[in-house]
Amino acid sequence: MRINGHGHILPEPSQIPKFMKDKKLFWIDDNKKFMRQDNWARPITSSSFFKKEKLNWMNQNGIDHSVMLCLSQLYCNGWKENDCLDTIKFQNDFNASIQSENPKKFTCGFVVQPLYMDFALKEIERCINQLNLKVLCLPTHFLNKKNEWLSIAEKDVDPIYQLANKYRLAIQIHPYDGEKMIALKNEYWRFHLVWMMAQCADTIHLFSLRDLPNKYPNIRTSFAHGGMLGIANYGRRIQGFDGRPDIFKTLEDPRKTLGHKNLYFDTLVHDSHTLDLLKKRVGTSQIIMGLDDPFPLGEMEGVGTSYPGRVIDYAIEIGILTEKEAADIWCQNVLDWLGFNIDI
């Protein structure tokens, strides 16, 4: 069985509530050419953003089941409370409908916004108990009430982790909104190609320093895009911890969580040699398949030499992975992260 642990799906234009378009929160053109948000627009580069075409795409590429995460555009960072609450409810209800209508093909995630903690905790309860959703999607960073950007691993978010721990949830952490955090001109796609990787690294850094995998032992957390810089700069983080004990005296040694059984990383690292570093750092058992379809930075056919599973295939070819390790990345490791079996 081949399971994709990182995919995305869009509602049909007609499914998006009128208030979202009227307030320019998020909408899709009727011709499905662009998704839009305020003055931002992004081309819809593949028809497999939509359910019917997604199912066809999965069949064509031998993908038996996919984990559909929330849309990064709908993390609702810094949104007004009512807009945030209504939009998140729509996103979660939509994902629940995709899962309930196609349980053999899709496991869907749900999202909450830590800025509005009371609502976030109630929404977790609703999504679990009423919508049967079991994968919590969180951004790497969020805006607090002081208009400060915080990592999702800060203690402010502990009530969410406590409830997730109670329900033994899988969590997926994904970067977004980098251009709002860093005073750099938004050119050269730098926030997708470089700063998203730094966002993951920042949250992995604090995740380790606060020892969250051991503090909340019942949750299993996956970092998008292989954790990227969070893996590559491990040695620098260790030297910093050892060299400045005055800064880290109340925090935990990052060595405690390297390769932790409840920390997972997806395969979307774009080249097999980077995957080799990830394997050496955390072990093959902690790597799950993540295609990030159908974005052009995902493993999509028609983008250079890319196709779904290319990094894994080449890793087998050059001896980085065995056939058994690759099969586990495609299936068993994803199931271990999710914490439940899938009947297809």
Q: What is the pLDDT of residues 252-290, one digit of tens each?
A: 999 999 999 999 999 999 999 999 999 999 999 999 999
Determine the Cα–Cα distance for residues 49 and 263; give it in Å rounded to an integer: 28
Answer whether residue 153 is part of any domain.
Answer: yes
In a domain, 85, yes or no: yes
Count of domains observed in the chain: 1
What is the end-to-end Cα distance of the chain in Å, rounded? 9
Flag whether pLDDT at 189 surpasses 90: no
The pair of three-digit structure tokens given for residue 44, joined into one six-digit string: 């819809």
Q: Can you give the three-state secondary structure of 236-260, one letter per residue?
A: HHHHHHHHCHHHHCCCCCHHHHCCC
Instruction: Confirm whether 195 is domain-assigned.
Output: yes
- Single pTM value for the model: 0.97
The CATH number covering residue 139 comes to: 3.20.20.140
Q: Greatest CA span in the chain, whole angstroms?
A: 57
How far, CA to CA in Å, does 291 sit from each of 58, 145, 206, 234, 275?
A: 11, 34, 26, 24, 14
Structural domain range at position 50: 3-338
Residue 174 lies in a domain: yes
Buried b (16+ CB within 10 A) or exposed e, 93-113: bbbbebbeebeebbbbbbbbb
pLDDT mean over 84-96 = 98
Neighbours of 30 (CB within 10 A): 9
Q: Could you tell me if 259 and 214 are in contact, meaning their C-beta atoms sit under 8 angstroms apart?
A: no
In a domain, 343, yes or no: no
Evaluate if residue 50 carries a pLDDT over 90: yes
Flag whether 76 is in a domain: yes
**Residues 278/280/285/290 CA torsion (nearest 10 deg):** 20
Taking the C-alpha atoms of residue 334 and residue 57, their distance in angstroms, rounded to an integer, is: 20
Q: How far apart are CA 156 and CA 158, in angstroms?
A: 6
Average pLDDT of the chain to the nearest whole number: 96
**Residue 290 domain-assigned?**
yes
* 119 has a pLDDT exceeding 90: yes
Residue at 344 is within a domain = no
In this prediction, residue 228 carries a pLDDT of 85
C-beta of residue 341 within 8 angstroms of C-beta of residue 293: no
Read off the pLDDT band of 302 (50, 70, 90): confident
- Token couple for 256: 């405690």
Span 9-44, pLDDT tens digits: 999 999 999 999 999 999 999 999 999 999 999 999
